[in-house]
Amino acid sequence: MENEININDSDFEKQVLDKSETLPVVVDFWATWCGPCVMLSPIMERLAKEYKGKFILAKLNVEDNQEKAQEYGVMSIPAVKMFKGGEIVDEFVGLLPEAEIRDFLERNL
């Protein structure tokens, strides 16, 4: 199973809400023009590989997909939200140090 996927507004329900019934899904709301997003992305990708299928990393470009960003209250990016059972269980905004991202994952997985 792929542990990193690119998603959009139209497949959000299937890729995030449905899949989060069986496995946590971490959604990274980002944009190409966002410097902190570009710095966060490789950290999230590396952790997704390192955690070997304990969660799915779903990346949503908010430039192209504003509907879900608005629906989930994304005011600034990067915004990272963890879904379990179709619900947000935890989230953070901004570029955090890798150790804090690991803490976020550990307390939720």
Q: Which residues are catalytic?
A: 34, 37
Mean pLDDT in the chain?
A: 96
Give per-residue pLDDT as tens, 5-56: 999 999 999 999 999 999 999 999 999 999 999 999 999 999 999 999 999 9
pLDDT at 3: 86
Q: Could you tell me the pLDDT band of residue 90, with boundaries at 50, 70 and 90?
A: very high
> In terms of C-beta distances under 8 Å and separation of at least 24 residues, what long-range contacts does 90-95 make, across chains too?
94/36, 95/36, 95/39, 95/40
Q: Could you tell me the pLDDT band of residue 65, with boundaries at 50, 70 and 90?
A: very high
Model pTM score:
0.96
